[in-house]
Amino acid sequence: MTACAIEPSAGHEDDGVAPAGCTLTADGAYAARLASAGDSWFPERWTLDGPEPYAVPLPRNQPEEPGTEVQPMGDGRVLIHRLVAGRHAFSLLYPTGPGTGELPLGVVECRDDTARLRLLPPAPGGERAYALAVGPRSTTVWLVAGGAFGPERLAELPGRCSGGVWLDRTGRLLALDRETGGRTKAVAVDLERGGEMSPLLQIAADSDDRLLLADHDSGLLLIRSDAPSPGQDRLGWGVLGSTLPVRFPECLRLRDCTVTPFAIQPGQILTPESCAVALRVDGPRGRWVGVWRPAERRVHHLAAPEGWLAGTGLWTPDGVLRLPYATEDVPCGVAQVSPPAAAAPEPGGMPPHSEPGQGPVQGPGQGHGPDARAAGVAPATGHPPEQAPTAAGHPPQAPQPASPADPAPPPAPSAPRPVPLQEAPLGRLVTN
């Protein structure tokens, strides 16, 4: 058997998403990254749930390769994925006084020499870790940490899969973006039923629909699709289990910028419209942080702290955004960001569920509605905050709110057309 190629640990080339600076556990207690010392690379674990964040280096006898993946576990150990002699080796690293202990877990070999293997995002609970091996015609889900006898093959799925979003708190339901027949659709995979797979997103028959983030408390989903603008991906949002449509706000379109959501505010039970969503914005004038709420029609633009581990952060339930950063003076820091509070709805304003051009979501078993085509509206020009992030930017303190992007022109009137979000599989797959 021949080995899979190794991929970066976060962000996927096929999705056009830049890698994140580090990886956080689902509860935000630990982080892990591959840190550099000159030309050498070594794993580093960050502890984030104490009074002050601190980092513990976990070097071994020789430097790591730049493409090596690391992922924090819920008990503070760090999973490392190396390519060794043509095989994928997995181990757990942990501090042992002045040194680093290592517990080998086993190896994974792939049957196809064109397959690629990468770690999936940290699972809820932090006790298990999973990897995805993507071949030309099928994708294999592996349990690589937390099993009884080393790495275990859990499921083989037809088609090429990317992404990876956990849909529940138990680590049973996994959403993947599955490419078949030239189209990409998000599917739900039940890992306790041998990888039983069901459709999750079907916005239009000829659209590419990917799931980026999901919040367990509110059911808020962040979606990337070209359904409203064929050939051009748009950011949209929906609610898991809702009968309302997916919406694609104009304020999330920034010309010449790549906008990537990376964190959703937890604890907003049954109120998805009030959830704050953190956005990574990459543009020609730098990189910064955006904050957006579905109930609002604007994005708040914030200067990122110097040394931000870009694309990494987490929300507290009360709406404080924590952004990890590392500089020469502060090798392990977390900036506390308090974005502007949610604006009160305008009297007589349009409720967030009735934006022009969007119709009701079709329920399970009702098929799919007509293709959704939003009016051709030019996106707003992307502008960084007033204090634009640079290599020698402002001190690593909590960023202050900055000027928003220029508002997008109002959409041209159009007849309401359904943009369905199919959620049928979860009601069927989740059992007591």
pLDDT for the residue 21: 82
Of 201, 109, 220, the residue nearest 163 (C-alpha): 201
Pairwise CA distance, residues 139 & 133, whole Å: 6
Pairwise CA distance, residues 353 & 273, whole Å: 9
Pairwise CA distance, residues 230 & 374, whole Å: 9
pLDDT for the residue 115: 75
Residue type, 255: R
Could you give the strand order of the β-sheet that contains 286-292, starting from the edge strand earlier in sequence?
258-264, 277-283, 286-292, 299-302, 401-402
pLDDT for the residue 293: 97
Q: What secondary structure, in 3-state letters, does the chain show?
A: CECCEECCCCCCHHHCCCCCCCEECCCCCEEEEEEEECCEEEEEEEECCCCCCEEEECCCCCCCCCCCEEEECCCCCEEEEEEECCEEEEEEEEEECCEEEEEEEEEECECCCCCEEEECCCCCCCCCEEEEEECCCEEEEEEEECCCCCCEEEEEEECEEEEEEECCCCCCEEEEEEEECCEEEEEEEEHHHCCEEEECCCCCCCCCEEEEEECCCCCEEEEEECCCCCCCCEEEEEECCCCCCCECCHHHCEECCEEEEEEECCCCCCCHHHCCEEEEEEECCEEEEEEECCCCCCEEEECCCCCECCCCCEECCCCCEEEEECCCCCCCEEEEECCCCCCCCCCCCCCCCCCCCCECCCCCCCCCCCCCCCCCCCCEECCCCCCCCCCCCCCCCCCCEECCCCCCCCCCCCCCCECCCCCHHHHHHCCC
pLDDT for the residue 231: 86
pLDDT for the residue 214: 97
pLDDT for the residue 4: 52
Print pLDDT tens along the chain (432 aa).
333 544 444 444 444 455 678 999 999 999 999 998 888 999 999 999 989 999 999 999 889 998 899 999 999 999 999 998 878 999 999 999 889 999 999 999 887 666 799 999 999 999 999 999 999 889 999 999 999 889 999 999 999 999 999 999 999 999 999 999 899 999 999 999 999 999 999 899 999 999 999 999 999 999 999 999 898 999 999 999 888 889 999 999 999 999 999 999 999 998 999 999 999 999 998 999 999 999 998 999 999 999 999 999 999 999 999 999 999 999 999 999 999 988 765 544 433 433 332 322 222 223 332 222 222 223 334 445 544 333 333 333 334 333 333 333 333 333 333 334 443 333 333 322
